[in-house]
Amino acid sequence: MRKPDGKIVLLGDMNVGKTSLLQRYMERRFPDTVSTVGGAFYLKQWRSYNISIWDTAGREQFHGLGSMYCRGAAAVILTYDVNNAQSLLELEDRFLGLTDTASADCLFAIVGNKVDLSEEGPGEGGQEGGQGPGLAGGGGCAAPRLPKQVQPEDAVAFYKKILKYKMLDEKEVPAAEQMCFETSAKTGRNVDLLFETLFDMVVPVILQQRAQGPPQTVDITSSRPPTRTRSGCCA
């Protein structure tokens, strides 16, 4: 098996739907899931590149593994549940710091999942901008609707906080509106759009990583003070 050319990592609190999103995209279905233990990855061939997509565990007890999975990542998908405001706050409090090990050019996507639960009208609908089979289990019955707790503007505000944290200039990175998605792993809404937008965006990051050569090792004998990188960690 060829070594992956680039890595994308899904991060977020338990139960937000990371595994379901990945299975919806890779296997075109919405199976029952069990809470992830550790992490797992899929390989996706995109154009002539091999991209690994890593699913991580949101459970607190596996938290320490997150930064290991993020090492060298070309993109990180920070996932929350639109019906659970706390899950967005957790991204800032618990997960953003894990991305310090990602590539200096790492891209960030903010994904609010489970929009089907708060959509108006009967059934899941959800084909707009999406492609999934939809309506699975919807059957025209009016499912109870949850009040949506997180609005797209909240995700955009979080994206801007990330840029600040990473000391990135808004003009040098993709616009917030391009990188914030609302998805449903259940209906498939925006799932292809999310992954395929990211694949296209990570190709230049992969080329950049190749041009820079293999990851640098730290020379601990060097007396030079560490320099601050764009990702906010020491090189």
Ligand X SMILES: Nc1nc2c(ncn2[C@@H]2O[C@H](COP(=O)(O)OP(=O)(O)OP(=O)(O)O)[C@@H](O)[C@H]2O)c(=O)[nH]1
- Nearer to ligand X by Cβ, of 115 and 205: the residue is 115
87 is a contact residue toward ligand X (CB under 6 A)? no
Contact between residue 22 and residue 31 where contact means Cβ atoms under 8 Å apart: no
Nearest to 55 by CA among 41, 70, 34: 41
148 is a contact residue toward ligand X (CB under 6 A)? no
How far apart are CB 215 and ligand X at their closest, in Å? 27
Identified binder of ligand X from the candidate list 6, 7, 18, 77, rule CB under 6 A: 18
Q: What is the DSSP letter of 80?
A: E
End-to-end CA distance of the chain: 31
- Name the pairing type of β-strands 75-81 and 49-56: unpaired
Binders in 117-136 for ligand X, by CB under 6 A: 117
88 is a contact residue toward ligand X (CB under 6 A)? no
Binders in 103-162 for Mg ion, by CB under 5 A: none
Identified binder of Mg ion from the candidate list 9, 22, 36, 70, rule CB under 5 A: 36
Binders in 3-32 for Mg ion, by CB under 5 A: 18-19
- Nearer to ligand X by Cβ, of 38 and 226: the residue is 38
DSSP H helical ranges for 117-190: 152-165, 176-179
98 is a contact residue toward ligand X (CB under 6 A)? no
Identified binder of ligand X from the candidate list 57, 77, 155, 206, rule CB under 6 A: 57
* Distance separating alpha carbons of residues 39 and 9, to the nearest angstrom: 10
- Nearer to ligand X by Cβ, of 54 and 231: the residue is 54
How far apart are CB 188 and Mg ion at their closest, in Å? 18
* Distance separating alpha carbons of residues 2 and 34, to the nearest angstrom: 29
Mapped onto helix, strand or coil, the DSSP state of residue 110 is strand
68, containing H or E segment? helix 66-70
Nearest to 7 by CA among 94, 77, 65: 77
Mapped onto helix, strand or coil, the DSSP state of residue 173 is coil
How far apart are CB 202 and Mg ion at their closest, in Å? 22
Tokens of 122: 């009967």
184 is a contact residue toward Mg ion (CB under 5 A)? no
Residue 87 interface partner, choices Mg ion, ligand X, none, CB cut-off 5-8 Å depending on type: none
> What does the binding site for Mg ion look like in residue numbers (CB under 5 A)?
18-19, 36
> What does the binding site for ligand X look like in residue numbers (CB under 6 A)?
12, 14-20, 33, 35-36, 57-59, 113-114, 116-117, 184-186
